[in-house]
Amino acid sequence: MTAAVSPADRERYLDLVGDGAQTPAIDFALGLAERGVPPRDVVLDLVAPTQARIGELWARNEWSVAQEHAATHVSEQVVAALAARHRPPAGRGVLVVACVDGEWHALPARMFAEVARWDGWDVRFLGASVPGPHLISYLHRHGPDVVAVSCSVPTRLVAAYRVIEAAQAAGIPVLAGGRGFGPAARWGLRLGADRVAAGAGEAVEVLRSWPLPTVTGFDPLRESFVSDDEHVLIAKRNTQLVAAAMDDLAQRFPALGGYTAHQREATEYDLGQIVEFLCAGLFVDDPELFTTFLDWLRVVLGTRGVPPSSVDLVLDAYQQQLYDFPRARAHLAAGRRRKAG
């Protein structure tokens, strides 16, 4: 008989990982599996939602980065222990799972990899930030049936696109997943992935029902999904844009004058992230990417004592700088409107 993970189990697990208590957390997870919870459910209903909660605790400044790192390390060991204990035979084919270049969220991809392994795939897990050319040469050498690319932050979508294109050119079908591909992984479809899935559970269903296509190669004449290269030009101007916005902020946000060197550096980082997310939104031509990011940024800054209205000052500065980039201006205006609405 199968059993299920309860809300009390999740509370207990959060306490354990919050303490960085590796052995008790592993014992707890293995114990659930022994009591009849399928290992896949231990990963998807215990570890995954806890990791999402950890993200919220970090975003609200209730957990430090150190506490998040310690907890994530424990969760990685828990997933590894479950994988070592439960080893079904592989019969469905070879599946390569990799995070795209610059993507350091290996644990979400690992969770998907183990769930796929428990569903009968012979998985090769390549982990975090795999440089595109290295991934492609690995694919040529090992000839898997499918490559699954993971992206957790949308700023890595350009790297994801390069890999999708190159894998298909090598004749290997691509499954795209991870929260960076957006709601229902829709930006994965935009970038031309053969299949997408929002969660690992859904992904194994997709893999099961998918008559793996014979990919004949990337069609060089495939119509581009963006009409211009604003995202490229703006990405190149990131440093200049940040410097100009810092000058502008100094005039309009007097608190900046009293910032420490560290606070100024953190502000410059945030300003750079705004440019990066703007470029990602332009790349997939969807203003929702940028507005969702701004919602998140306002929460993160607000909990750290930075008035969320300061974001609008930055958007204004970028609007002025980017006067000859019509799509960027539309995305920036959507970011402004979202706050007003």
Which segment (8-16, 53-61, 132-140, 278-286) binds ligand B12 by CB under 6 A?
53-61
Query: Residue from 20, 38, 55, 120 that binds ligand B12 (CB under 6 A)?
Result: 55
| Torsion, CA 27, CA 29, CA 33, CA 38, rounded to 10 | -160
| CA 99 to chain centroid | 9
17 sits near ligand B12 (criterion: CB under 6 A): no
Locus of tokens 């007097």: 254
Distance (Å, whole) CA 316 – CA 333: 9
| Among 38, 39, 49, 41, CA closest to 13 | 49
Give the three-class secondary structure for 70: helix
State which residue, 67 or 319, has the beta carbon closest to ligand B12: 67
| CA distances (Å), origin 239, targets 81, 245, 274, 310 | 44, 10, 12, 19
210 sits near ligand B12 (criterion: CB under 6 A): no
How do strand 174-177 and strand 93-99 relate by DSSP bridges? unpaired
132 sits near ligand B12 (criterion: CB under 6 A): no
| Among 118, 76, 291, 95, CA closest to 177 | 95
CB of 150 to ligand B12, least distance (A): 4
Contact criterion met (CB below 8 Å) for 83 and 75: no
CB of 175 to ligand B12, least distance (A): 5
**How many residues in the shown chain lie near ligand B12 by CB under 6 A?**
38
100 sits near ligand B12 (criterion: CB under 6 A): no
The full DSSP string for 175-219 is EEESGGG-GGGHHHHHTT-SEEESSHHHHHHHHHH----------
Which segment (18-26, 142-150, 212-220, 251-259) binds ligand B12 by CB under 6 A?
142-150
Which segment (7-15, 16-24, 44-52, 323-331) binds ligand B12 by CB under 6 A?
44-52
56 sits near ligand B12 (criterion: CB under 6 A): yes
Query: Residue from 14, 25, 42, 51 that binds ligand B12 (CB under 6 A)?
Result: 51
| Residue window 145-184: x/- pattern of binding to ligand B12, with contact defined by CB under 6 A | ---xxx-xx---------------------xxxxx-----
Query: Residue from 200, 271, 282, 332 that binds ligand B12 (CB under 6 A)?
Result: 200
111 sits near ligand B12 (criterion: CB under 6 A): yes
Tokens of 15: 């306490």
258 DSSP 8-state letter: G
| Residue window 217-256: x/- pattern of binding to ligand B12, with contact defined by CB under 6 A | ----------------------------------------
- List of residues contacting ligand B12 (CB under 6 A): 44, 48, 51-52, 54-56, 58-59, 68, 72, 76, 102-109, 111-112, 148-150, 152-153, 175-179, 197, 199-200, 203, 293, 296
